[in-house]
Structure 1
Amino acid sequence: MKLITKLVITTILIYPISLFAQGGFVNDGSIIPSSESNYTKVITVSEAKKQADDTFVLLEGYIVGKAKTINAEEFMFKDDTDTIKIEVNQKVWRNQTVTPSTKIRILGQVDHNSFVGTTEIEVRQLDIIKD
């Protein structure tokens, strides 16, 4: 009985330590992110509209107003080249307040709607650019 008790106590004490021993991702150098990746290279709205469906793009510009749709999460985003509709879910805002004069950087996914012939960006991350 003492042996079983010792085994149970040892297991209880060692098991939680093994939970913390799990590692995360470490880049061993075998895969080096490309500097030309759309995740690191800012492109224009005009270029984003030409990207394939579901491509991730990084854009800088301004939200100039609400989109004229019934979806409260849709806005119009503008840079020096063009304007595009973006969809920003509530969790993406992260308690940030943005006005039309606030320059932002968005990472999002291109969404071509071939049925109505429109393109929009589904925003995954939104950051305010501090000058």
Structure 2
Amino acid sequence: MEGNIIRQVGHELYEFRDSSGTVYVDIDNKYWMGQTASPADKIHIKGEVDRGWDGIKIDVKNIQVMK
């Protein structure tokens, strides 16, 4: 998926937006690998869909900031 992280909503939980809409993404600190991203930065993420009692979110396994 490619889009933007709009805001941080929890410790490792972020709101992500792409052309299809918004979804929460869970990004463990270890996957950032020293990268930082602002809402203006385009990012590419890969992960698994997690359907829980609290809704759908993406459990991110790889993130790349497209600066």
* Pairing 1:61–2:61 present: no
Give the equivalent residue in structure 2 for 1:121: 58
- TM-score norm. by structure 2 comes to 0.93
2:28 — aligned with what? 89
String of CA shifts for 1:35-74, please: whole Å, max 9, x gaps: xxxxxxxxxxxxxxxxxxxxxxxx000000012xxx4000
What's the CA shift for 1:100? 0.2
More helix by share: 1
The two structures, once aligned, show a CA RMSD in angstroms of 1.0
Q: Which amino acid aligns with 1:110?
A: V
**How far apart, CA to CA, are the structure 1 residues paired with 2:2 and 2:40?**
13
The answer as to 2:48 corresponding to 1:109 is: yes
2: CA distance between counterparts of 1:98 and 1:77? 12
Gaps of 5+ in 1: 1-58
Structure 1 CA distance, aligned partners of 2:20 and 2:59? 19
Work out the percentage of aligned pairs sharing the same amino acid.
31
2:65 & 2:28 partners in 1: Cα distance?
16
Q: How many angstroms does 1:80 deviate by?
A: 1.5
Amino acid in the other structure paired with 1:80: S
Report how far residue 129 of structure 1 moved: 1.8
> How many residue pairs get matched?
67
For structure 2, the residue ranges without an aligned partner over 5 or more in a row are: none
TM-score w.r.t. length of structure 1: 0.49
